[in-house]
Structure 1
Amino acid sequence: MFRNDGNHFTDVTDAAGLHDGIDGYGLGVVASDFNGDGCPDLYIANDFQGNDYLYINNCNGTFTESIAKVTGHTSRFSMGVDAADFNNDGRPDIISLDMLPPDEEILKTSATTEGFDLYNKQLQAGYLPQFARNNLQLNRGNGKFSEIGYLAGVAATDWSWAPLFADFDNDGRKDLFVSNGVYRRPNDLDYIAYISQDAVQASLKDTITAANLKLLQKMPQIPQQNYLFHNNGNLTFTSVGEAWGLNQKGFSNGAVYVDLNNSGNLDLVVNNINAPASIYRSHAREQNGNSYLTVALKGAGKNTAGIGAKVIVKATGVSQLLEQQPTRGFESSVDPRLHFGLGKATQIDSLTVIWPDRRYQVLTNLAVNRILTLSQSDAAGRWTYPRPATPRLFADITNQVRVDFKHEEDTFFDYNREPLMPHVLSTEGPRLAVADVNGDGLDDFYVGGAKWQPGKLFIQQKDGTFRASNQPSIAADSLAEDIGAVFFDANGDGFPDLFVVSGGNEFWGKEEALRPRLYLNDGHGNFQ
C-alpha cells in the first residue's frame, strides 16, 4: 500500500497491517465501506491457495484482516472482484469470480487441482474453505456475509475475469456483467495427457527449443461469450446476455461500463485478447422508457473526483446506494459518474451525498433524466454514521453450563477408497438426544461421538449446569461412530432408554462396529 503524501508516495504496507502473502497471486481489488463506519475497506482477490483478504479499515491508517471472521468460504482461483449493494438494502455486497464451467463437456474434460485429502490438510493448516466457482457474498449487516452464488444463479461462468454490478436496464436494480474467456486452456485433460508422454517430456528436459514452443499451439482454444445477468429483485439473477446482444465469442478480460453518448444508458467497453476491443451500445431507454439520474461529483482539494463519497437516492419507495470507487472488475476503472436507474419514477424524493470528509448535502424533489453535478464545496455539517446494531437472539453459554465436549473426527478419507462417491459418509455425526433420564424434572442430553470417541451423557443440575455422567457401557462401544440417537421407553418400564445408530464409512469387514445399540435405563440415569 502506497500513501499519497502530496508530491510522492510512501510505502506503508507493513504499518497499515497489510499482508505480503507468498502463497497467493492478487488479481483483483475493490474498495467499499462494508461495515458502514464511513471508512473504505478493501477486498483483495487471490488466485491459487492463498486466502482472499478482507481488510476492515480501522479509520486510523491501519487495517484488520477479517476474511475468516466475516465469511464462511470464498472462491478458490479468485480473479476479478466487485462490490455494490445489489439488493438495495444499503449494504455493499461482494462478488469474486472463478472458473467453474457451466458447460458439462468442458467441466468433465478439465483437470481439478486437488483431492479431498489435500483440501482437508489445507483446512488444518489454517486456510479458509475455498471452492472453484463464483462467490456472491450477501452483506447481512451484522459483520457477516452469506455466500449465495448458487442461489442467485451466478456461480458458473467459466474462466471469468471482470464482474461489474450496474443497472443496465434502468429498472432500479443492479445487474451483473461478467467478462469471460482464457486464450489457451492448460488444464484440458487431453492436452495434459499429450504433454505427459515420455517422448514429449524427454524433449523438455534440457532446453526450451522452438519445437517445444509449438506445444503451446496444441493447447486448446474455446472462445466464449460474455455473460450479463438481469437482477430479478429477489436475490436471483437471470442470464440475458444472448437476448441483450452479447453474443460475440472471444477471450475477454478487462471491462468497464460508461455512458459514452450521454443517453442515460450504460454502455460496455470490453477488452479482448488478440482482437479489437468490443463496444456495446445500450438501447435500454429507447425500449423501456425507464428514467435515470447521472451524478457527477466535484471533490474539494486534490481529490477532484470525490473518491470515497457515497450517494443515496430515494425514489418511489426505493433507496439506492452507490460509492464513488471507480476501480472495479479486473484491472479496470469505470466511468466516475454515478448512474442510477429509476424505473418509472418521475421525480427523485431525496438525494444525499456524504463526502469523504463527512460533510454532506441533501437535495429533495429533483427532476429525473439528467446529469446532476454536485460540489463538495457546497456541503456542510458532519455526517454521523450510526453504529451498526448487532442484536443477537442467542448467547454462547457453553462455558457457564460446563458442557465439556468437543467432537473429534478421525482422519479417514472416503474418496481414497471410493473416488466416485457423491459425498462422504464418514462424517455424519455428531447427533443429540434429549430426555429427563433420572426423573428429576430437568432435561438431560446425550451427544454421540466419532470413531474411537465415546458418546457422552450430560445430566442437568438444579443450577442449570451439566455434569458428565460416567457410563461404562457406552464407553465400551467407542469403536462405533454415532450417526443417530433417540431416547424412548423400549421395555415399557416408564424410563427413557437410549437407542444409538452406528454408521460411518471406515469399517471394512467390521460389522460389529455398524450394529445399532440399545442401552436400558435403570430409572436413575444409569444405562446398560
Structure 2
Amino acid sequence: DYTLDGLPDLWVANYEKEAFALYRNDGEAQFLHISNDTGVTSIGSLFVGFGTVCADFDLDGDEDVFVVNGHVAYYSLNSPFRQKPLYLENRGGRFAQIQYDESSYLGQSHTGRGLALADFNDDGKLDLAVSNFSDPPAILRNTTQAEGNWIFVRLIGARSNRDAVGARLVLHTSSGDQARQVKGGGSYLSSGDLRVHWGIPEGVTVDSLTVYWPSGIQQEVKSLQLNATNLLEEPVSIGADLSSGNP
C-alpha cells in the first residue's frame, strides 16, 4: 500500500530485459501500471529478481521495497550472473534506489534467491534473511537511525486458519490508512515473520485497526500499544465485542 489509501497495490520483480513493475490499486478491481510515475523504471532491466519484500524499513510510515537478484545463466550476454540487491526507499510515492559502499554486503554482488522478513532482535526495525545460490546465507540487521515508533500485530485464528493467513489489516492513523496482509509467502521460496508491522512516524497518532479475518469476520480494535507486539485472537462467540477487539 505505497499510496497510504488502505488498498493493497502490486509489486512485481521480473527477469532480465523485463523491468520491475508497480501497479496501483484504483479501488475498482483494476491495477494501473505506474512504474514510470514512481521512478521504478529507472532501475533498468538488467536484473533478475528473486526474493522480494515490501516493508517500512525506516519507520517513516510508508512501505519500501527490497529485492535480491542473481542470474540463472553463467554466460548471459546482457547482465552478470552475480547481481547487487536493491533497496528502494519510498519517498512520498516515488522510489529511490539507495547506494551502498562496496565494502558492505549490500554494495556487493551475489546470487540472491530467497528473502524473508523478521525482527531478529525485537527492536521494531525489520531485518532480513537471504539465501544465495552457491554462496552462504546472510542475516542483514536493520541499523537504520529511525526516530519513529512501531507496532506489531500477531493474529491468532479460531474460525479462520490458526495463523490467520489471508487476513487483511488496515491501520487508521492521523496521516492516512495503511493496509497490510498476513501472507504465507509472497517472496521466492520464502516465508517470514507472521507478525504484521507498521512504522509510526513522530507526530502521527494511531486511531484504530480494522481486521478482516479470512472467515469473513470484521473486527475493530480501538487501542494498540506502541513499540510492542499486540496479540489479537479472532472472536468466536456470537456476542463477541468486535469494537474492543476482545472475544
Which TM-score band (shorter chain)?
Answer: 0.7 to 0.9
Larger radius of gyration: 1
Amino acid at match of 2:170: I
Q: TM-score, normalised by structure 1?
A: 0.42
Describe the shift of the 1:289–1:382 C-alpha distance in structure 2 as closer, same or farther (beyond 3 A). closer
* Residues 53 and 186 in structure 2, CA contact (< 8 A), matched pair in contact too: yes
Q: Report if aligned partners of 1:178, 1:228 keep a CA contact under 8 Å in 2.
A: yes
* Equivalent residue letter for 1:320: Q
Q: 1:253 aligned to 94, 104, 113, which one?
A: 113
> In the alignment, which residue of structure 2 is the partner of 1:95?
11
- Of the three residues 134, 141, 149, the one matched with 1:291 is 149
- Do residues 163 (structure 1) and 49 (structure 2) align? no
Provide the aligned length of Structure 1 versus Structure 2: 236
2:185 is aligned with 1:305:
no
Q: How far 1:280 sits from its partner (Å)?
A: 0.5
Does the aligned pair in 2 maintain the 1:361–1:378 contact within 8 Å? no
Q: What is the match of residue 123 of structure 2?
A: 263
Partner letter of residue 86 of structure 1?
Y
Query: TM-score if structure 2 supplies the norm length?
Result: 0.86
Q: Is the 8 A contact 1:299 1:306 kept in 2?
A: yes
1:449-468 CA-to-partner distances (Å, cap 9, x unmatched) read xxxxxxxxxxxxxxxxxxxx
The CA deviation at 1:364 is 2.1
Q: Larger RCO: Structure 1 or Structure 2 (Cα < 8 Å, ≥ 6 residues apart)?
A: 2
Matched residues in 2 for 1:180 and 1:226: separation? 6
Q: CA deviation at 1:159?
A: 1.3
Residues 257-297 of structure 1 deviation map (CA, whole Å, 9 limit, x = unaligned): 1111111010011111111111110123xx12211000011
1:149 shift after superposition: 1.7
C-alpha deviations, 1:340-373, integer Å up to 9, x for none?
A: 1111146421112221122232222433111100
Partners of 1:348 and 1:364 within 8 A in 2? no
- Residues 25-424 of structure 1: pairs in structure 2 closer than 5 A: 85-100=1-16, 132-155=18-41, 156=44, 158-188=47-77, 222-234=81-93, 236-242=94-100, 246-284=106-144, 287-300=145-158, 303-345=161-203, 347-377=205-235, 380=240
Displacement after TM superposition at 1:304 (Å):
1.0
* More helix, by proportion: 1
Question: What is residue 470 of structure 1 aligned with on the other side?
Answer: none
RMSD: 2.5
Q: Which amino acid aligns with 1:329?
A: S
Gaps of 5+ in 1: 1-84, 102-131, 190-219, 384-528
Rounded Cα–Cα distance in structure 2 between residues aligned with 1:382 and 1:263? 30
> CA, structure 1 residues 333+143, in 2 after alignment: closer, same or farther (shift >3 Å)?
same
Q: Distance in 2 between matches of 1:378 and 1:229?
A: 41
